[in-house]
Amino acid sequence: MSNHNKLPQEIFNAPADSLAKLAALFPSAVKDGQLDIAASARNSANSRKSAQNATNSHGQQ
């Protein structure tokens, strides 16, 4: 008898559930049902640039 019958079925769906939640928050980070690491890195870099630009523009008043 295998041990997987004793495990709750929900744990097998956890990665898919996590990916679905991530896609809901960051649609551009998920492509073809997989995490798009390159898109995530681009978005992160763009966010840092935007934050830096906002900080610089406030200091130039």
Are the beta carbons of 28 and 43 closer than 8 angstroms? yes
Question: Who has greater pLDDT, 33 or 40?
Answer: 33
H-helix or E-strand spanning residue 30: strand 30-31
SS3 54: helix
What's the pLDDT at 24? 93
Tell me what the pLDDT averaged over the chain comes to. Answer: 77
Residue 26 has pLDDT above 60, yes or no: yes
Helix extents (H) in 1-61: 10-25, 37-59
pLDDT-derived band at 46 (thresholds 50, 70, 90) equals: low
What's the pLDDT at 7? 79
Residue 59 has pLDDT above 70, yes or no: no
d(CA 50, CA 1): 56
Show Cβ contacts of residue 42 under 8 Å, excluding neighbours closer than 6 positions. none
